[in-house]
Amino acid sequence: MDGAPGENRDGKAGGSFAVSPARREAYGILLELERGRGHADELLRAERVTALREADRNLATTLVMGVLRWHRVLDAGIRAHLSRPNAKLDAEVLVALRLGAFQLRFLDRIPDHAAIGEGVALAKAAGHTFAAGMVNAVLRKVSAGPRDAELDAAAAYPEWLVERWLREYGAEAAAEICRHGQQQARLALRVGSAEAERELEMDGIVLEPGALLTAARVVAAGDVTATRMVREGWVRVQEEGSQLIAELAGTVAAGERILDMCAAPGGKTLVLAERNPEAQVVACESNPARLRAMQERLAGMAQPELTGRIETRLSDGVKLEGEREFAVVLVDAPCSGTGTLGRNPEIRHRLTEGDLLRQQERQVGLLRAALRLGGRRVVYSTCSLEPEENGAVVAQALKGNEGWRQVSAAGPIGELEAEGRLTADGAEYLRGCVDGAGALTLVPGRVETDGFFVAVVERG
């Protein structure tokens, strides 16, 4: 991470104030993101972050995600204290100001002198000694202002995005979406067996039931990523709505094949393989780096009876030709990700309204390819809340495909309920999320999942 500031030999950044490991790594990550490099979740999993003590690792995550979530509010507050509010600030200075301002406005346990002193030190260490006085003055003014515990969450989002949610979902749901995106996302697990759950509990991990799925658990306390169960793949970190999408694909007969068209990072692929112990699962990914990461993940799992039935391919799903039929195809399409803004807050700062239609052409192509390859059922999903990427894609793809029709997601939901895969409350909640066209939409804030859209299409 070349953006992280260095330290002097006495451990003090800028030669005057020691910068803690957590703040140093958070600053470096935020600087990388400001320069358009990488994604927060990937950078927070980098070795230099995971090597930190647990408390420092947790603080680094809180700082990065908090600054990204409240970016717009922080910038407005910072500029209100500049002598020239519209002045262009160097990235290193701006990120130091954001990091300091977030601690001052949102974190009660950080002493003001630490947030201010380290903000100044970070600017100095990045070579901006001339700006140190300005950073100090601005952060002192921020510290004298109000804290933002009751701030309207909608202020943290682009106005055009909030206006869309108001039109599409109404005022109450739009407010819930905004509030949900400003909170720390729950860490959900896919737990394969009672034995795995017991070992986690012996390791000091406190678990709670999932909201929707009987196989899902939520981590209430403990560092689950350090356990053998997670390292060997017996338990997997996976958002509960993501698990549900693969569950909705259903089951196939022995010897039949399933296609996961956009498979990386492989969580849904593994659920498909678990549900169908006698089927072959073909997992395609068009990005070489993401494919390698998925292959390494599968190779590191201690379950050859599961991973041995998964064939990975470097392939663009639109270009798959000459294949015999797949009984079921899952198309978890690349999308804007507006349903995941709590987990991926930087998306809101990069996305434009024009991006939605640009994504649509690719999504329609993927779904049409899936209909060409599918035998009985195709499941189309996104983690987007935007109609251009959801219902509009399904409608376009079905034109000219008279052999296929969209069916109600209530059918697959009923199948899962009969198999005991849904909690009683989860089954009732999901049925209420099915719209008139049969699509399932999970709205963040209504239940503890990210936002997802799912359409089920069947032949006949």
Q: What is the pLDDT of residues 201-255, one digit of tens each?
A: 999 999 999 999 999 999 999 989 889 999 999 999 999 999 999 999 999 999 9
Percent over 70 (pLDDT), the chain: 96
CA distances from 158 to 139, 246, 256 (A): 25, 32, 46
Report d(CA 284, CA 366) in Å as an integer. Answer: 12
pLDDT confidence bin for 12, thresholds 50/70/90: very low
3-state SS, residue 223: coil
The confidence score (pLDDT) of residue 6 equals 42
Domain spans in the chain, listed from the N-terminal domain onward: 12-144, 239-459
Residue 165, Cα to own-chain centre: how many angstroms?
19
The confidence score (pLDDT) of residue 16 equals 54
Question: What's the token pair of residue 86?
Answer: 């519209």
The confidence score (pLDDT) of residue 9 equals 29
3-state SS, residue 149: coil
Number of Cα atoms under 13 Å in the Cβ half of residue 264: 20
pLDDT digits 0-9 by tens, 243-290: 999 999 999 999 999 999 999 999 999 999 999 999 999 999 999 999
- CATH number for the domain whose boundaries are 239-459: 3.40.50.150
- CATH number for the domain whose boundaries are 12-144: 1.10.940.10
